[in-house]
A and B are shown apart, each in its own frame.
Chain A
Amino acid sequence: MSEAAVQTGIARARAGTRPAAPGVDTASILAALADVADPEIPVVSVIDLGMVGEIRVGADGIGVDLLPTYIGCPALDVIRTRVEARLRAFDRPVEVRFDFRVPWTSDRITPAGREALRASGFAPPGPALPEAPILIQLGRPVDCPNCGSDRTSLENAFGPTRCRAIYHCTACQQPFESFKTI
């Protein structure tokens, strides 16, 4: 299927000129995307991270908008490729694009995603306060994902990837990472 044909399909789908075939709807696409893991933190999916924006379904194509966590995250292309590959199971043209209209924030991470992060040793981010200074945000108590203590301190606002900060727990004496509040 050519790019032009995909575009035409998407445009038709948006215009609602043809009903979606049975078996593909927003719910089934969301369920499929729950299989697509983040390449850098594979315990969470693109659904857990709140990266999925608008979904368009039509007889001629499926369109999905993804909200990038960080603009230049090197994993974005991998994520797009994986989402496209997963959606091909529906056997119709697929268009996946990145969308900045709704800025992704760490508040979009779902409760299930937060629990999965915690279980794998990442403290989930606190609520974003767009007007508060960064150090105030990151300096708020973060519970240690290893022992649960709140006797923790920020070591570095910058970590091994753009979305992670480094903390230290004075109770269990272990370093740990947190997903940054943004």
Chain B
Amino acid sequence: MSVAVLPALALGELIRSMADDEFVIGFSDSEWTGIAPLLEEDVAMSSLAQDELGHAAALYGLLGELTGTDPDALAYDREPGAYRHCRLLDHGRGDWAMAIARRFLYDSADAIRLEALAGGSWAPLAELVGKLIREERYHRMHAGAWLDRLARDDGEARARLIVALKELGPDASTVFTPLPDERALTEIGILAAPMAELEDRWRASIGPILAGLDLPMPPDAMDPAGGRLDHGEPFRWLWGEFTSVRRAEPGVTW
């Protein structure tokens, strides 16, 4: 398929939303390096963070090829309001229960999104997604094991997990915020189904897990259209952290 016939605008929005999601959750995870509740989790969260930043770099690279933009500029030179990650990732670090609830909700949703892109008609994205799926399996295993462990506790851990799921729940489905002109993507076979349908699949996939642990299901989003806009103070803080080197020394490289 030649690039000339691609719905470049919609495709760019799709890749940007995925790249920003991975970038922001990667930086959020990296905040646990050194302060996780167990040494093993220091290592695990650092490894997950490195994975996600690697995935973001690959996606920004693809977006850069599509739009002729420098991937580093895409990652670091935008103002906070120009990022298009989902609002699920905008709640600040919180406690360990928040970290696990966020990872469980995001990883389960991301898996459904990736499934819908695997085998898609634009090879560069479909090939990258094939590789992403293999790596993300480790993330789902990690989040699922911890969700189970916290939920089966009969004291503080379970109580905190429920608080976290209730705080994040209303924003969980923002992973599936409809993309501008996403019909162009489904018609050409890049995306297997509209975001609304992917949200239904996601709810069907997590329903039995949450019900089995007697945990609350995420409610419907309050503002379904605006789920990737208006990021708020916790993200402004994170943005200030991850752009600080770049802003202090423009053009710096490792």
Contacts and interface: CB of A to CB of B under 8 A. Distances in A.
B142 to A, nearest CB: 7
A174 interface: no
Contacts of B137: 134
A159 B134 contact: no
Contacts, number: 73
Chain A interface mostly helix, strand, loop or mixed?
loop
A101 B130 CA distance: 9
A171 interface: no
Interface stretch (B52-60, B99-107, B156-164): B52-60
B40 interface: yes
Contact of B54 (A70, A105, A156, A158): A70
Interface residues of B, number: 28
A133 B142 CA distance: 11
- Residue of B51, B56, B134 with most partner-chain A CB within 10 A: B134
A71 B40 contact: no
Interface in B95-150: 123, 127-128, 130-132, 134-135, 137-138, 140-142, 145
A155 B135 CA distance: 19
Chain B interface mostly helix, strand, loop or mixed?
helix
A32 interface: no
A162 B47 contact: yes
Contacts of B53: 72
B172 interface: no
Contact of B145 (A73, A103, A135): A135
- Residue of A158, A160, A166 with most partner-chain B CB within 10 A: A158
B58 A71 contact: yes
Interface of A: 68, 70-74, 100-101, 103-105, 130, 133-135, 155-160, 162, 166, 180, 182
Interface of B: 40, 43-44, 46-48, 50-51, 53-58, 123, 127-128, 130-132, 134-135, 137-138, 140-142, 145
7 contacts: A70-B51, A71-B128, A71-B132, A74-B54, A156-B40, A159-B47, A182-B134
